[in-house]
Amino acid sequence: MIVVGYSAGSFGRACLEHGIDEARRRETELLVINAVSEARGQRYAEADEIVEIENRLSESGVKFRITQPIGATPAEELLNAMDDPEAELLIIGMRRRTQVGKLLLGSTSQYLLVECRKPVLVVKPSQVAG
């Protein structure tokens, strides 16, 4: 299983495209997790964006699931998913932030890179796979 940390917008779309490529390559399922931290101003994907994601995944031919968990932090949700024995790879986006921003707000991406026991692929919108 490939786990994608999806956030609304271009970073989420980049992660999704790489997730599709990896799921095809590995012939496995794709789990898309749209967990957000409202304290950091993140937002869940709106209903129309979820429909777009479902359409894109359906046309890709990969088996998939989409979740929008409420309660735990995005990092906790993604690490819990990666604890599944079937989970092979975590795909996340990483935004550029200043050193002060990292110090004050922390970085979910950095935390995941350190704490995840399995491979993590970090992508940016400019790296969207074709």
pTM to 2 decimal places: 0.85
User: What domains does the chain contain, in order, with CATH numbers?
Assistant: 2-127 (3.40.50.620)
Q: 32: alpha, beta or left, given left = phi > 0 and alpha = psi -120 to 50?
A: beta
At 97-111, the pLDDT tens digits run 555 555 444 578 888
pLDDT of residue 129 exceeding 60, the answer is no
